[in-house]
Each structure stands twice: as C-alpha cells, then as structure tokens.
Structure 1
Amino acid sequence: MKISRLHQIEEYVYQHETVSLDELCEKFNVSKNTIRRDINFLAEKGVLEKVYGGVVAKSSTLKTFETRTVDNQDIKLHIAKFAGQFVEANDIIYIDSGTTTNNLLLDVDREMPFTLLTNNLDAINLATEFSNVQIILIGNTYKRATRSFINMAEDSTISKFNINKAFMAATGFSIRDGLSNSDPLEWEIKKQIVKRAQSIYLLADNSKFDKSALYSYASLNQLKGIVTNKPISEEYQQYFMDHSVITYLV
C-alpha cells in the first residue's frame, strides 16, 4: 500500500509540478505526518524537492521521452551500438525500455538468428527489419511516456525463459542502491528479468552515476558489465574490480 501511495504521490507531483502538503493530505486521505514521511523518502531518492509548505517536481523528472532521447543523443547512440556487439547468433536477449537501449540493434547483423524479449517499442520496430529474429513482447499495456509496455499477467511468462543476455537501463545507479527505476510497473519487469538473465549489461551515460530512484531492481555486483561514456570514480572502480564487473568506456 505504501509503495503504491509513493508512486501515486510521485505521479501527482509530476503532473501538477507544485503541490502543497495540505493538498497531498486531502488527495491521499492521510495525516500530515504520514505525508511528511513520504515526502522525505521521495526527496532523499531525488524524485522531488521540498519547499516551504509543499513540494515541487525536480526539473529532470519533467522531461518527456523525446527530450530525454535528445539529451546526450550522440553519447547514447555510441553506448548502444557498442553494446550491440555482445549479441551473438542464437542468443536469447532482453532489451530494456529506455532512450539508450532502444538503439542497441542498429549495427547488429540483420541476418543473425536470435530471440528478442523486450518491452521496448523502438527495439521491436528495429527488430522487424531482421530476417531471422523471433520477437517476444513483454508487458501488455502501452505506456506512451516511455514508449514501452508495462504490466504483467499473474502467470508471467518471464519465469519460463532462459535469457542469455539482458541489456538494462536505469534512472540511476549507485553502490548503495544498485540499479534503480522510478516506475513500480517497469520495476516489476526489470526485477524478473535480472533473475532470469545469465549476463546483465547496464547501458548508462555519466548522468546516471551515483544517482538513485525510487525502486531498486538489482545490485551492482549482479552486473557482468557496464557500458558508459566517462571514467568512473576510484570508489566505483574498486567496487567493480572486487566484484568482477567489466567497465566498457566508449
């Protein structure tokens, strides 16, 4: 119940940009103390900012999918194309939703046989140009804001698949919170995918370094590799060395 309310608060603030504590109390039918605790939690996660008597949405959360696609566009394209080389014949891969992962198949051999699981609409559109790919859609409800599919049936099919490689996106990543995301419905899919994947690759530009969102879906030590564009701090370098996580700089 609390997780659902936190997500609803996040969405409500996102839609209204500036909201008072009294308005949130009335909207969600909870006490001011409860709202303060929820707001403190969301503020610590970087989802929103506290102001006198209320909260405001952080500017980064107000960006549309199209705006986020343009942000660091060349960098994201390089990261995606580099990660595409990890796709091999007869692989069973998962491509996550996101503005970096959506271009992963651009330079992959169009004749290569492989199986693609994804909830990423752009990845699906690209994959239809391939001659020998089997496409399996994950999710049953289209989310326009992220051009992805969310929601899983109770008898989720993810647990039935053996995934060789999962190419994941994240709102942020940190040693403390691992890979995190702000949407509970996307989080549920991500969490199930990483349980089934033999090798997990994170595709993330430097704007995601040492950031945390509302829901963590994997720890950093579960990664096989991270593809990014700038050197990471010594603390992260040591952590990745200790846990055999390979860093690819592009």
Structure 2
Amino acid sequence: MGGRRQFGLRAGRARSPLTVHFVWSLLAAKSASLYPSPRAPARTIVEFCGIIKSNAHSDCGESIMSQRARPLVAERQREIVRLLQEIGTLRIGELTDRFDVSDETIRRDLAVLEEQGLLTRAYGGAFAEGVHDETSYQRRMRQNHGEKERLGRVAAAMVRDGSTIIIDSGTTMRHLATHLKAKRDLVVITNGINHVDALLANQTLTLVVTGGVVRRATLGAAGELAVATLETLRADHTFIATHGFSADAGLTYPSFEEVAVKRAMIAAGEEVTLLADGSKCGRVSMVRVAPLDKLNRIITSPPIPDGEREKIEELGIDLVVVGEDEGSELGGPSASGNGDFVR
C-alpha cells in the first residue's frame, strides 16, 4: 500500500499509457535494489501492472459501459410503458424484435416496471396496469373519434324500425346509440350504462339494461347476472365490440370479465355485426371470444391488410370498410325509408 501511495496511484482509477510506462520504470529501479534475483523484479512489475490493467478495464471500463447503458435501459423502459398505454398488451417476442435484445433483458425490464406499478406481468408478456389490456374509457373515447362516429352512423343505418337489437358496451357503440334517435319502436338490450342517456332520448324506444357488475374500463356490466339475462333473450341484430380481430385468431379481448357476456350476445342475435375501427384489425389479445365465422358482417375503417381482407371474404363475411371510398361513403351508405342499409 505504501508503494502505491508513493507513486500517486489509487485503486479503481485508470491511468494513461504514459503513466503506466513511468510507473514501470520506477518499479524496475526500486525492485532491482530490493530483489537481487532477475526474476523477482519482473514478477513484481507484472503483478503490479496487472492491478493497474485490471482496474482500468474493470472499474473504469464497467463504469463507462454502465453510464452508456443506463440511459438506453431507461429509454427502452419508457418506450415499453408508452406502448402499453397505447396498445394495452405486449408480448415478449414483440419487444425483443422491436428493441433487438434478448428475452431475459425484456423480462428484467418488465419486472422493474411491475415493481414500479406501471404494468402487470403475465405469461409471455405484460398488460397495462389497472385495467390489463385496456386504457381508460375517457381516453378511448378520444382515440379515433371521427372513425368511430362514422362506424356508428353506418351501423345505425342497418337497424330497422320495430326491431330488437343488442348493443355491446364500449366507445364505438356509444356512437351507434347516439345515431338511433330517429328510429321508431326499437327494443334495445345493452350492458353499457354509458349508452342509457343517448337511448332514452328516443321517446319510442324500449330500453332493457342487463344486470351485472359494471366495469369502470368499459362502463359495461359483466358477470353471471348479465349472462343469465342475455341467455333468456333473442334479438334480430347484435352489434358487438372487441379489442382485436383477425381471420385466424377470431375475436379476441384482453379481459376475462366481459368475454362471457360477449359470447351470450353473439348467441342471442339472429344477425351479428362487429364494429371495430381499422386499428384493431390483425390485433390479437389474450382471450378468444369467438371465431370470426360467427359474424355476418364487419364494419371497420381502413387500412385493412390485403391478407386479412382476402381471408375474411373467404369466410363469407360481409366486410364494410367505411371511408375507403370517400365518395360512396359520404353519399351513401344511407338509410332508406324503412331503415334498410343501402350500399
């Protein structure tokens, strides 16, 4: 220790090549006087310079690397949180491809973010904290607002006066409920408490609200009571919502709570139409609600991948892409006098 202080060296600090050369020369001179054997000073010099080399490459090197890596880790974790807030659910494979890192690196990131209360880990991925794969209702009302309004208007044009329909909960369905004001003598069954005020604005409409436990994420009633109510009813037309749809995966949803309700709605409808904006096409969520061939029609918005379009049409499902042809969409579809949908 005394020798190291004498030459002004401190452990853990890297030295320049000039400094190491100077220390080597001094050590050689000192060791020659202390050790008559020619091998001894060489061993001392090598051992001492090994300390310098080790410190330069480990302490300083690791410090530099950690300083460089730390912002990258923080940036990656912030991006993971942002993606979860936007999409709701992420799989480990998607994240490894996106950030070009290993599975273990992503798992460590998810563990850190879970400890911070920013997400919930699940097998193979993670969900946004609090509502799993769902953002807040208020935020989703603002997302793709114009597209959802057009989807609701087109769907309302398909509703016949005097018919019985089922409307699912969700933000797109809220727009459908708003566009039913001009319809006459409808019976509307819904689990969406957010639709009630819009539906009651129609004085000729009879409203049936399922029981159940209301979920704050969707303002929809779920649970056994809602399912039991729907199992006793039949409707001319069911309008269903979902988090993602594809020809291969079918209708998928991030939460178990409302899946049974959606299945009961599909079973109760003579005709079933999915309302989902184009951002949900090709998206696959955790729970499968039903295969796509349970649907008669999909009302969505562009863009729709060509591969998905072909597969959906092969299933015999009527695919209505609102806004793909702005001229036809603005001039019609419209409702005829009896409420039929006109292409």
What aligned pairs does 1:119-158 form with structure 2 within 5 A after superposition?
119-153=191-225, 156-158=228-230
Which structure shows the higher strand fraction? Answer: 1
Match of 1:52 among 99, 105, 108: 108
* Corresponding residue of 2:264: 192
Q: Is the Cα–Cα contact under 8 Å of residues 121 and 149 in structure 1 kept in the other structure?
A: yes
Match of 2:276 among 173, 193, 204: 204
> Cα gap change, 1:45/1:245 in structure 2, threshold over 3 Å: closer, same or farther?
farther
> Cα gap change, 1:239/1:78 in structure 2, threshold over 3 Å: closer, same or farther?
same
What secondary structure is seen at the aligned counterpart in 1 of 2:217?
A: helix
Q: Does 1:83 align with 2:155?
A: yes
Q: Is the Cα–Cα contact under 8 Å of residues 110 and 129 in structure 1 kept in the other structure?
A: no
Name the TM-score, length of structure 2 as normaliser.
Answer: 0.56
What secondary structure is seen at the aligned counterpart in 2 of 1:105?
A: helix
- How many residues were matched structurally? 209
Q: Does 1:108 align with 2:180?
A: yes
Q: Does 1:67 align with 2:139?
A: yes
Bigger mean CA deviation after superposition, 196-205 or 133-142? 133-142
Give 1:207 deviation, angstroms.
Answer: 1.1
Provide the rounded CA distance (Å) in 1 between the counterparts of 2:210 and 2:217. Answer: 17
Q: Is the Cα–Cα contact under 8 Å of residues 211 and 229 in structure 2 kept in the other structure?
A: no
* Corresponding residue of 1:239: 311
* Corresponding residue of 2:240: 168
Where structure 1 has 5 or more consecutive residues not aligned to the other structure, the ranges are 1-16, 18-40
* Corresponding residue of 1:43: 91
Where structure 2 has 5 or more consecutive residues not aligned to the other structure, the ranges are 1-80, 82-88, 95-102, 114-118, 120-126, 323-343
* Greater C-alpha radius of gyration: 2
Provide the rounded CA distance (Å) in 1 between the counterparts of 2:307 and 2:204. Answer: 43
* Corresponding residue of 1:230: 302
Give 1:232 deviation, angstroms.
Answer: 2.0
Give 1:111 deviation, angstroms.
Answer: 5.3
* Corresponding residue of 1:4: none
Give 1:176 deviation, angstroms.
Answer: 2.1
What secondary structure is seen at the aligned counterpart in 2 of 1:185?
A: coil
* Corresponding residue of 1:23: none
Which amino acid in structure 2 is aligned with residue 79 of structure 1?
L
CA deviations over 1:180-230 (Å, ceiling 9, x no partner):
111212101001111121111111111101111111112111111111111
Match of 1:248 among 305, 320, 334: 320
Give 1:235 deviation, angstroms.
Answer: 2.1
% identical equivalent positions:
21
Q: Is the Cα–Cα contact under 8 Å of residues 133 and 254 in structure 2 kept in the other structure?
A: no
Which amino acid in structure 1 is aligned with residue 139 of structure 2?
T
Provide the rounded CA distance (Å) in 2 between the counterparts of 1:114 and 1:211. Answer: 33
* Corresponding residue of 2:86: none
Give 1:52 deviation, angstroms.
Answer: 1.6
Bigger mean CA deviation after superposition, 82-91 or 140-149? 140-149
Name the TM-score, length of structure 1 as normaliser.
Answer: 0.75
